[in-house]
A = this chain, B = another copy of it.
Amino acid sequence: MPRHTLSELARHVGGKVIGDDAVEIRGVASIEEAGPAEIAFLAHPRYRGYLATVRAGALIISRNIPIRSLPKAGKNFIQVAQPYVAFAKILQLFNPPPSYGGEVSSLAAIDPTAVLAERVTVFPQVYVGKGVRVQRGTVLFPGVFLGDGVEVGEDCVLHPRVTVREGCHIGNRVILHAGVVIGADGFGYAGEGRERVKIPQIGIVVIEDDVEIGANTTVDRATLGRTVIGRGTKVDNLVQIAHNVIVGQHSVIAAQAGIAGSTKIGNEVVLAGQVGVVNHVEIGDKAKIGPQSGIPRSVPPGALLSAGLEAQPHQQWLRVMTLLPRLPKLWGAVQRLEAKMARLVSREARGKKSHARRQRDL
């Protein structure tokens, strides 16, 4: 179990100790549960109420919290510019990724033409196809399938039951969570009805370095060429990424979002949960799309879009839904009213004038 003094931790995250530098910390816990040997994280000023009762040995806080507001009695703090990042780094320090023994199970099925570098760990029930290459430090959990010709980089973790189909490339330090499917056939057919013909999907998927992909997410292989998930991009669970999609670098795609074929997602884009993006469009760099939004056309860089509908009380919603299709009619009614009103007002004005004239004429 690692132990660190508060001053060591502060140095690690570029922060400043307020209180006792020498207090020894052995782990991280939530603010509700942390004990005297643990450090916790005060995410937001509104949790400041907890300061009175918290039992944590120390707290990570933001520079935005004025020091004079911190209670004196026996509390210790690390104050940093980005407390959430500091929390993540301290959590990493106390919870280093598990190291695996570099053993290759005799209960795995590994083609003799596959090349596994040193310190690759292969659990039982793994399947490794012809000509596969896996670089050093990578871990293949039980049930991982690597199709013929797959390449996997260094220090990757492929969790249980991950499938990487033939020819796909996985970069370095990639994490694929359980049940992920990389390189299934794209959904492509030509023709209609009973004349429909399957379009062979002969491209691949390229997952660049430092990508993490959530459980049961699917990334389809390209028809021709490549489907790409760019460096540093993070994809949540149950996401669908169709054939020939290109996702840029350092983007974030939340759970159950879906991206249709050949669409390009820029760098540092954020797609919230259950977003749907149609095929053949582009989402510009740093665009942020709110939950459940439908994206039927390209989005410029930096756009902040929303479309989710907030749920309403059921009876009210039924009335709204009955009226919504009549919106064009309502719009027409208002336009007619505006025209009539304008005529009335102008006739009234003329009427007054003529009345005034008549008055004057009298």
Contact = CB atoms under 8 A, between A and B. Distances in A.
A30 B123 CA distance: 39
Contacts of A321: 309-310
B252 A189 contact: yes
B273 A260 contact: yes
A225 B143 contact: no
A77 interface: no
Interface in A108-137: 109, 123-125, 127
A183 B171 CA distance: 24
B178 A165 contact: yes
B88 A190 contact: yes
B313 A320 contact: no
Contact of A337 (B107, B260, B311, B337): B337
A198 interface: yes
A340 interface: yes
Contacts of A198: 88, 92, 212
Interface residues of A, number: 127
A360 to B, nearest CB: 16
A172 interface: no
Contacts of A268: 192-193
A202 B91 CA distance: 9
B215 A84 contact: no
Contact of A250 (B179, B193, B224, B334): B193
B250 A194 contact: yes
B127 A250 contact: no
Most buried by B among A258, A311, A313: A311
A314 B267 CA distance: 20
A234 B236 CA distance: 23
Contacts of A289: 311
Interface in A180-223: 181, 184-185, 187-200, 202, 212, 214-216, 218, 220
B141 A215 contact: no
A-B interface, 4 closest residue pairs, ranked by CB to CB distance from nearest = A305-B311, A293-B311, A294-B308, A109-B124
Given A181-B237, A333-B334, 11 more contacts: A88-B198, A91-B199, A109-B124, A177-B184, A179-B218, A238-B240, A293-B309, A299-B311, A309-B321, A319-B327, A337-B338
30 contacts: A28-B202, A85-B195, A88-B199, A88-B200, A91-B199, A97-B200, A109-B125, A145-B178, A161-B179, A163-B178, A163-B179, A163-B215, A187-B237, A187-B254, A196-B234, A196-B250, A214-B218, A237-B240, A256-B258, A258-B274, A278-B291, A292-B292, A293-B309, A294-B309, A295-B310, A305-B314, A307-B317, A319-B328, A326-B331, A341-B344
